[in-house]
Structure 1
C-alpha cells in the first residue's frame, strides 16, 4: 500500500511578505528581511511535513507493523513447538538434535522478546541448558553497572531495562535528584553560595536585553492592536460579516498568545490592512525589530524540527540525517522484512511435519547462518 508522505501544500505559503521595489535596489535590511522570510517559509513547511508524516507513521506502526510482529511471534512459537516434538522422535541423530535445540532456543528467544510466555521460557531453558530469567537479570545488572560507571547513578530495580525510553527517563530523574541533593540550582551553582554582584558591563548588557525584549513585545502588541481594531466583531452590524470577523479574530488571538509576529503580519495582508509596499516602506529600525522577532520564531521552529528528528533517531536507532520520506521507507523495509520472515517460518513449519523433509532441511542449515542471530550455539 502506497501512502502519500504529506499533501502538496502542508503549510500555507508566506505570501505578500517578500519585499520588492521598482524604484530603487533593496536595502541591506530589506534583503535580510526577505532572506529571513524565505527561511521561515522553508522551516514552517518542513515542520508541517513532519507533523503530517508522524500521523501516517503512527498509523502504519499500529496498523501494519504491530499485527505483523504479533503474527511473527505466533509463528515462532508454533515452529518451536513443532521442532521440540521432532527433537524426541526416533531416527533423529545427536547432531540433528543439537541443531534442533539451537533453533528452538532462537525461536523461543524471539517470542520472549515480544511477550512473556511461560511455555517458550521452559523450552528456552530446556534446550539451552540455562535459565532465561537468570540470563535476563545478569544482562540487566551488567547494563546497570555500565550506566552507573558512565553517569554515576544507580538505577532502581523497577526500571524496564528493555525500554530505552524508560532507562533514559530514570537516568534523567536520578541525575536531577543527585544535583538537588548536592545543593545545586538550575545553573549548577551551589544553592548556598552568596549571589555575585553583577559587573557594570553585565548590568548594562542585561538592561539592553530587557529593553530589546520590551521593544519586541511592544512591536507584536502594536500589530495585534491594529488587527483587533479592524476585526472587532462587536462593531460589525452584518451577521455574516460578524461571523467572518469572529473567526479571523480567533486566529489573531491565537497568534498573539503565541507571540507569532509572522502569523500576525500574514493576517494583516489577508485582510488587506498592509501589503508588500507598506512593509518596504517601513523605517530601517522597525524592519530590524521585525527581524529580531522573526529570528526568534525561526529558532523555535528549528528546535522543534530537530527535536522530532532526534527522537526518531533514538527510537529507531538510526544514524545521520532523517527525512519524512526516509522514515516511511523505513516502515516499508520493516514491513517487507517481517513479511519475508513470516513466509520463511511458515515454510519451515510446513516441512517440520515430515521427518525426512525436516532432516534434509537441517542438513542444509549452516552454522554461520544461525549462530550470528542467536549468539553462537555450539553444535
Structure 2
C-alpha cells in the first residue's frame, strides 16, 4: 500500500501538550519502523539466498577437508609410528571429529572409522550428545529457578496469617477483575476511535452510489486502500488517508479533544508494539542465519558486512586446514602437535621424545 506523508501535530516550533507530544513520538516511531522492517525483511531474504549460493557450499568444502583429515589421521595411526600416549590422542581426535561430521554434516561413511576409535558405540555417543545439550538447557533453567525462594506451606501457617493471605488474595482478585473491565472498556473505545475514522472515509468514498464510471473506479481504488488499512487496525495510516483525501486538515489534528487523543495514542501504542514484535522476529531470523546478535541487526548494511565476514572466516579456515593437512603428512610435524595437545579433562604424562 502506498504510504502518504508524515503524520504530525503542529509545526517543529509549536508548543504542544503532553498528549500531542506523545502522538508525534508514536507516529515518528511507526514511521521509522515502517522503513526499517522492510529493509530488514529484504536483508533476511538476501541472506537466505546467499546462504544457499555462497555460504553452504564453502562450509561443505571445509567439512570435506575435515573428512580428508580424519582419513589421514586414521592412516597415520595404522602406521604405528607413535607410542601409546600419542596414539591415545590420535584416537580421541579421530573419534571426536568424525562424530561431529556424521551427526552435523551427514558424512555417514565415517561411521566405521568412528566405531574403530571410539570407546563407546555411535548410538551411545549420540545419546550422550543429546544429554549434554539437555543438561545445558537444564542448567540455565536451574539458574532461573534458584532465584525463586520456597515459601512455608499454607496449612502450616497460623490462623491469623492464613486470614491475612486470604484477604490479600481477595483484594488482588477484585483489582484484577476491575483492571480487566477497564482494559475491555478501553479496547472498545480504541476500536471505536479507529472505526470512526474508517466510517468517515467510507461515507465519502463508497463507490456503490457513484454513476460516473471513472469516478466509481477511483473511489473503488480508494476504498481498497481504506479497507486494507482498517483491517490492519492501522489508525495512523487511516488518519494519513484522511489528510491525503482532504477529509481533515492539520488544524483538525491540533484541535483533537483530550479523550479522543488519549485513545488515538492507545491505538498507536498498540501499533508500535506489534511492529516492534515484527522487527524482533525478523532480527531473530537474521541472527540465526549470520550469527549477528538480534539487537545489532538494525540495517541491511550491518547484516551484509557481518555475512561477508562469515564468508571470509570460512575461506580462512579452508586455507588453514589445507595447510594443516600438508604439514601433518610429515610424521614429525604431526608428533609436534600431539606433544602439546591435551585431551579435555584428561592428563597424559609425556616426557619421552621418541616416537
Fold shared, TM-score > 0.5 on shorter chain: yes
- 1:22 shift after superposition: 10
Q: 2:311 aligns with which of 335, 338, 349?
A: 335
Larger fraction in helix: 2
Match for residue 163 of structure 1?
Answer: none
| Residue 242 to residue 80, structure 1, CA distance change in 2 (3 Å) | farther
Say whether the 8 Å CA contact 2:48–2:289 is kept in structure 1.
Answer: no
Gaps of 5+ in 2: 143-169, 351-355
> Relative to 1, partners in 2 of residues 1:22 and 1:145: Cα closer, same or farther, differing over 3 Å?
closer
TM-score by length of 2: 0.72
Task: Confirm or deny that 1:296 pairs with 2:270.
Answer: yes
Aligned to 2:69: 79
Which residue in the other structure is 1:346 paired with? 322
Change (3 A) 1:366 1:334: farther
After TM superposition, list the pairs within 5 Å mapping 1:201-216 onto structure 2: 205-216=179-190
How far apart are 1:221 and its partner, in Å? 0.9
1:224: Cα distance to partner?
A: 0.9
CA contact (8 A) 1:104 1:124 kept: yes
- TM-score scaled by structure 1? 0.68
In the other structure, the counterpart of 1:254 is 228
Whole-angstrom distance in 1 between the partners of 2:296 and 2:174: 46
Report whether the alignment pairs 1:31 with 2:5: no
Secondary structure of the corresponding residue to residue 229 of structure 1: helix
- Assess, with a 3 A threshold, how the Cα gap between structure 1 residues 146 and 75 changes in structure 2: closer, same or farther: closer
- Aligned CA RMSD, in angstroms, stands at 4.0
Q: For residues 253 and 229 of structure 1, what CA distance do their matches in structure 2 show?
A: 12
**SS at 1:262 equivalent:** helix
Larger CA deviation: 315-324 vs 224-233: 315-324
In the alignment of these two chains, the number of paired residues is 320
Check the 8 A contact 1:232/1:249 in 2, yes or no.
yes
The DSSP-based 3-state class of the residue aligned with 1:321 is helix
Larger Rg: 2
The 1:26–1:146 alpha-carbon spacing in structure 2 relative to 1, beyond 3 Å, is closer
Question: Which residue of 34, 39, 58 maps to 1:49?
Answer: 39
Whole-angstrom distance in 2 between the partners of 1:205 and 1:19? 31
> Shift of residue 32 of structure 1?
2.6
Greater relative contact order: 1 or 2 (C-alpha under 8 angstroms, separation 6 or more)? 2
* Match of residue 238 from structure 2: 264
Q: Within 2, Cα distance between the matches of 1:268 and 1:259?
A: 15
Q: Aligned to 2:331, which of 359, 363, 369?
A: 359
**Deviations, residues 87-140 of structure 1 (Å, cap 9, x unaligned):** 3348x3447755654543343234124233343122123234443332221342
CA contact (8 A) 1:14 1:37 kept: no
The answer for the alignment partner of 1:324 in structure 2 is 298
Match of 1:193 in 2: none
Residues 1:283 and 2:257 aligned together: yes
Q: Give the alignment partner of residue 224 of structure 1, picking from 174, 193, 198.
A: 198
Deviation for aligned residue 1:76: 1.7
1:24-173 alignment runs, 5 A limit: 25-89=15-79, 92-94=81-83, 100-141=90-131, 143-144=133-134
Of 120-129 and 313-322, more deviation after overlay is shown by 313-322
- Contact conserved, 2:290 with 2:307, CA < 8 A, in 1? no
CA contact 2:86–2:338 (8 Å) conserved in 1: no
- CA distance in 1: counterparts of 2:238 and 2:249, whole angstroms: 13
Q: Is the 8 A contact 1:233 1:245 kept in 2?
A: yes
Report the Cα offset of residue 41 of structure 1. 2.0
Q: Give 5+ residue unaligned stretches, structure 1.
A: 1-10, 153-195
